């Protein structure tokens, strides 16, 4: 392999795009990637049509582009404000529907982009490839629009420019529209171009500047480097055996290392003993994404004193996400539980929420219930979180306290009754948590 060339996007984005492109190629077929015609706005005729008619014709055209019948998903035009957020625009089920606010019908380019994105969700959900509760549901759907010819729309619609005039005042605003950035889409389009053996496609000139800039740099990178895990004609990510993934952990390629870490984590129950040393070495990588992935994976290693000692040496990592994940590993890897508990009690005092939550979760799982040392450590950190107005962390700590002591209300009254305002605030947070827990329980019972 040739590793001298530099990829123009971040490693974590690069590896995610390559693995996702591979998964989509496995699902949709290499022909869908290489033979689909790239579409332009000119392909959608708008003459002598109302905005609503244009939108409905777009849905029919896009479904046809996806080899789906026009009746497989319907369009519903709604009033602005009827949708809570962007992800509510596609509703799967027995009567799949895409919602579009009527104040967005005039922006033809962005309307096509949005419809393509929502209908791509429909394709992927219908095939059972992904479900709306999957953490990558939105991102993978956005990326998959490339497979149906909507690469220009998706790359150019990630940012929407809007000029406005109000009397003698003029202005300009920018807001994020897509899920993946223009830069990430630019790299994905370069992978598509390489898969088609067309490193200078005519449609590249139609990309907006930021996507085009990354596309050109990515084409140069892909022309010089073989440091890519996306192979369109390969049988897919699952063609890597476990032994191959373990070998990839020691590769000189950071792309292969991160890809292997992610693939090994998928569905893992216990880390193979032969993978432990390579994963521990990854904890010393200069790439923070590799250290983060290794910190997650090492928690699944067979419990041993050697592993625990090496985890302990990495607890001073500069990255709080790494420290937080290693805190989880401490709870699972502690041969001496009292020693592990002392380390975690200290980590609960960290300034970063990721570390605090990781350490607190480990403490709750490691020690016996009603351990006064742990209860006091969590209560003291709750105090700091409330004073610093970090309510998400305060809510997490209250939730964890309910798992560590039998009578949380009594503990909170005892710890905070000396400060009236603080006590009232924390009691309010606790009451909100109880109400939320009660509502969730009722939903489960129904």
Structural contact between residues 69 and 86, judged by C-beta atoms closer than 8 angstroms:
no
- Is the confidence at residue 379, as pLDDT, over 90? yes
Q: What is the pLDDT of residues 293-320, one digit of tens each?
A: 999 999 999 988 899 999 999 999 999 9
Share of the chain above pLDDT 90, in %: 71
Confidence (pLDDT) at 395:
92
187 vs 337 pLDDT, higher one: 187
326: CB partners within 8 A, 6+ apart: 295, 298, 311, 314, 315, 317, 358
Residue 116, pLDDT > 70, answer yes
Cα–Cα dist 333/413, whole Å:
34
DSSP annotation string for 366-421: HSPTT-HHHHHHHHHHHHHHHHTT-HHHHHHHHHHHHHH-S-HHHHHHHHHTTSHH
Residues 6 or more apart from 104 whose CB is under 8 A from it? 110, 111, 114
Look-up of token digits 């992610």: 262
Average pLDDT along the chain: 88
Place of tokens 């046809």: 64
Concatenated DSSP letters of 82-148: SSSSGGGGEE-SSS-EEEEEGGGSS-HHHHHHHHHHHHHHHHHHHTTS--TTSTTHHHHHHHHGGGG
Give me the pLDDT at residue 244, please. Answer: 92
Structure tokens at 427: 């009691």
Specify the pLDDT at position 333. Answer: 85
What sign results for the dihedral spanned by CA atoms 129, 266, 10, 315?
positive
Q: Which has the closest alpha carbon to 77: 57, 45, 105, 58?
A: 105
3-class SS of residue 74 = strand
End-to-end CA gap in the chain = 56
**Is 80 exceeded by the pLDDT of residue 15?**
yes
Structure confidence at residue 318 (pLDDT) = 95
* Structure confidence at residue 245 (pLDDT): 93
Euclidean distance between CA atoms 294 and 279, whole angstroms: 6
Query: Do residues 33 and 195 make contact, with C-beta atoms less than 8 angstroms apart?
Result: yes
Please write the tens of the pLDDT for every residue from 264-284: 998 788 999 999 999 999 999
Q: Give the least confident one: 31-35, 235-239, 300-304.
A: 235-239
216 or 445, which is more confident?
A: 216
Question: How many Å apart are CA 88 and CA 108, to the nearest integer?
Answer: 20
Q: How far apart are CA 5 and CA 255, in angstroms?
A: 13
CA-wise closest residue to 255 among 231, 228, 293: 228
Distance CA 237, CA 240 (A): 6
Nearest to 354 by CA among 321, 381, 328: 321
Determine contact, residues 415/383, Cβ cutoff 8 Å. Answer: yes
> Which among 338, 347, 255 has a CA at the least distance from the CA of 10?
255
pLDDT of residue 170: 38
Q: What per-residue confidence (pLDDT) applies to 435?
A: 85
What ranges do the domains of the chain cover? 11-163+175-224, 369-446
pLDDT confidence tier of residue 445, bands split at 50, 70 and 90 = very low
Which secondary-structure segment (H or E) carries 162?
strand 159-166
* Residue 65: predicted pLDDT: 94
Q: Does the pLDDT of residue 358 top 50, yes or no?
A: yes
pLDDT of 164 over the 80 cut: no
**Window from 42-56, 108-122, 382-396 with minimum mean pLDDT:** 42-56
């Amino acid at each position: 392999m040739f590793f001298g060339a530099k990829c123009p996007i971040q490693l974590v984005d690069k590896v995610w795009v390559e693995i996702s492109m591979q998964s989509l190629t496995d699902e949709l077929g290499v022909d869908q990637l290489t033979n689909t015609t790239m579409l332009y706005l000119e392909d959608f005729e708008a003459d002598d049509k109302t905005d609503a008619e244009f939108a409905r014709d777009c849905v029919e055209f896009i479904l046809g582009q996806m080899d789906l019948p026009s009746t497989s998903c319907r369009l519903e035009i709604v009033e602005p404000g009827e949708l809570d957020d962007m992800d509510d625009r596609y509703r799967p089920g027995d009567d799949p529907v895409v919602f579009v606010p009527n104040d967005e019908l005039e922006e033809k380019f962005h309307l096509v982009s949005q419809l393509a994105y929502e209908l791509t969700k429909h394709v992927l959900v219908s095939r059972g490839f992904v479900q709306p509760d999957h953490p990558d549901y939105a991102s993978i759907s956005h990326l998959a629009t490339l497979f149906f010819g909507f690469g220009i729309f998706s790359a150019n619609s990630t940012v929407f420019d809007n000029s406005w005039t109000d009397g003698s005042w003029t202005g300009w605003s920018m807001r994020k529209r897509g899920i993946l950035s223009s830069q990430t889409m630019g790299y994905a389009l370069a992978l598509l171009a390489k898969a088609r053996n067309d490193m200078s496609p005519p449609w590249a000139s139609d990309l907006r500047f930021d996507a085009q800039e990354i596309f050109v740099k990515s084409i140069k990178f892909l022309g010089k480097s073989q440091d890519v895990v996306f192979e369109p004609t390969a049988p897919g990510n699952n063609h890597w055996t476990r032994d191959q993934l373990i070998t990839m952990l020691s590769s000189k390629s950071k792309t292969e290392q991160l890809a292997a870490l992610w693939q090994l984590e998928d569905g893992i129950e216990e880390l193979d003993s032969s993978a432990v040393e390579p994963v521990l070495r990854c904890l010393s990588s200069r790439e923070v994404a590799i250290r983060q992935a290794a910190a997650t994976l090492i928690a699944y290693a067979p419990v041993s004193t050697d592993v625990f000692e090496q985890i302990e040496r990495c607890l001073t990592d500069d990255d709080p996400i790494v420290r937080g994940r290693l805190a989880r590993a401490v709870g699972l890897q502690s041969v001496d539980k009292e020693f592990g508990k002392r380390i975690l009690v200290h980590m609960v005092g960290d300034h970063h929420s990721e570390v605090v939550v990781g350490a607190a979760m480990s403490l709750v799982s490691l020690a016996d219930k009603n351990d006064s040392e742990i209860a006091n450590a969590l209560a003291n950190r709750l105090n700091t979180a409330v004073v610093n107005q970090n309510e998400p962390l305060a809510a997490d700590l209250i939730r964890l306290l309910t798992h560590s002591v039998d009578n949380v209300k009594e503990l909170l009254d005892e710890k905070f009754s000396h400060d009236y305002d603080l006590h009232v605030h924390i009691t309010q947070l606790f009451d909100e948590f109880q109400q939320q827990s009660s509502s969730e329980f009722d939903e489960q019972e129904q």
